[in-house]
């Protein structure tokens, strides 16, 4: 017997809701300056702008110029007027503009958590693809942190998320950032989900990794997802020859 329309509707609502978990963790405020570093196709950016109530300024960036068309369409459709569309490599963004109150990095990943939507993920991903993603994720996360102003009166927040359940793309990346920048993990504020790993096989991560959240298709009835919320507490970049603390813009 096939699934009923009611079941299918509920199923896709729940699956779609998963994509808004990072925005809920980001917790945008009115009149802030916020960066969505990898914004296409624009669903999360639209949600952020709506929570900002069209105040402040939202930078919606993506490296793929063609995919930005969807971002423009989404923002236009719901009447968003506080947004600037950008087409940069996110890793270069700190050299362009920084001093943001909050940054969302929904990072490019292997998509292991969305196999239910794209069965080809099971066969077209190899170890080299995972390693390539991990390198990019580390570089993007450090750039996202460097874009945030630790002196922000309302924020100083970076949210990192992926649609992957691999520790290599999640806990390992956050653990790396904790060692490379002056950030700490905060509770995500999400009311459900499984705590992140503090150890995996022979690897041990910072104990605060338990504050991150994991979502599994077989447990939470949504795509596989990972969400982490970081607070930047100093604009000084460690091991950079005692660079003076950057002032906010």
Residue spans of the domains in the chain: they are 5-232
20-73 pLDDT, tens per residue? 899 999 999 999 999 999 999 999 999 999 999 999 999 999 999 999 999 999
The pLDDT value recorded for residue 227 is 98
The pLDDT value recorded for residue 9 is 38
Strand segments, DSSP code E, in the chain are 33-36, 57-61, 83-86, 102-106, 157-162, 183-186, 194-195, 199-200, 203-204, 213-215, 225-232
Mean pLDDT of 135-148: 98
Mean pLDDT of 222-236: 95
Q: How confident is the model at residue 8 (pLDDT cuts 50, 70, 90)?
A: very low
The span from the CA of 159 to the CA of 47, in Å, is 15
> What φ, ψ does residue 190 adopt, rounded to 5°?
-85, 135
The pLDDT value recorded for residue 75 is 93
Q: Of the candidates 155, 159, 150, 220, which has an alpha carbon nearest to the alpha carbon of residue 191? A: 220
Q: Give yes or no for residue 243 having a pLDDT over 60.
A: no
85-128 pLDDT, tens per residue? 999 999 999 999 999 999 999 999 998 888 777 777 666 777 88
Instruction: Look over the chain and give the mean of its residue pLDDT values, rounded to a whole number.
Output: 88
The pLDDT value recorded for residue 83 is 96
The pLDDT value recorded for residue 18 is 63
Q: Which residues are catalytic?
A: 163
Q: How confident is the model at residue 17 (pLDDT cuts 50, 70, 90)?
A: low
**Hey, how many other C-beta atoms are within 10 angstroms of the C-beta on 212?**
29
Q: Of the candidates 218, 221, 213, 194, which has an alpha carbon nearest to the alpha carbon of residue 12? A: 221
Annotated binding site for S-adenosyl-L-methionine: 38-44, 62, 89, 106
Instruction: Give the CATH superfamily of 5-232.
Output: Vaccinia Virus protein VP39 (3.40.50.150)
pTM: 0.88
């Amino acid at each position: 017997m096939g699934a009923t329309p009611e079941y299918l509707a509920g199923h896709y609502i729940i699956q779609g809701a998963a994509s808004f978990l990072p925005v809920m963790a980001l917790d945008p405020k009115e009149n802030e300056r916020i960066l969505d570093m990898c914004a296409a196709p624009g669903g999360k950016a639209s949600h952020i702008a709506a929570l900002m109530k069209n105040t402040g300024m939202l930078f919606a960036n993506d490296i793929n110029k063609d995919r930005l068309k969807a971002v423009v369409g989404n923002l236009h459709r719901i009447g968003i007027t506080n947004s600037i569309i950008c087409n940069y490599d996110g890793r270069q963004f700190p050299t362009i503009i920084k001093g943001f109150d909050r940054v969302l990095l929904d990072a490019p990943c292997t998509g292991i958590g969305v196999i239910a939507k794209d069965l080809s993920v099971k066969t077209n991903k190899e170890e080299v693809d995972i390693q390539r993603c991990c390198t990019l994720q580390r570089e993007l996360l450090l750039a996202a942190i460097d874009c945030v102003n630790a002196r922000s009166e309302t924020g100083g927040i970076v949210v990192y998320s992926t649609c992957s359940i691999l520790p290599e793309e999640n806990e390992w990346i956050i653990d790396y950032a904790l060692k490379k920048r002056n950030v700490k993990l905060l509770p995500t504020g999400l009311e459900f989900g499984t705590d992140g790993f503090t150890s995996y096989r022979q690897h041990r991560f910072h104990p605060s990794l338990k504050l991150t959240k994991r979502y599994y298709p077989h447990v939470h009835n949504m795509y596989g997802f990972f969400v982490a919320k970081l607070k930047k507490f100093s604009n000084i970049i460690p091991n950079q020859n005692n660079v003076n603390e950057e002032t906010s813009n």
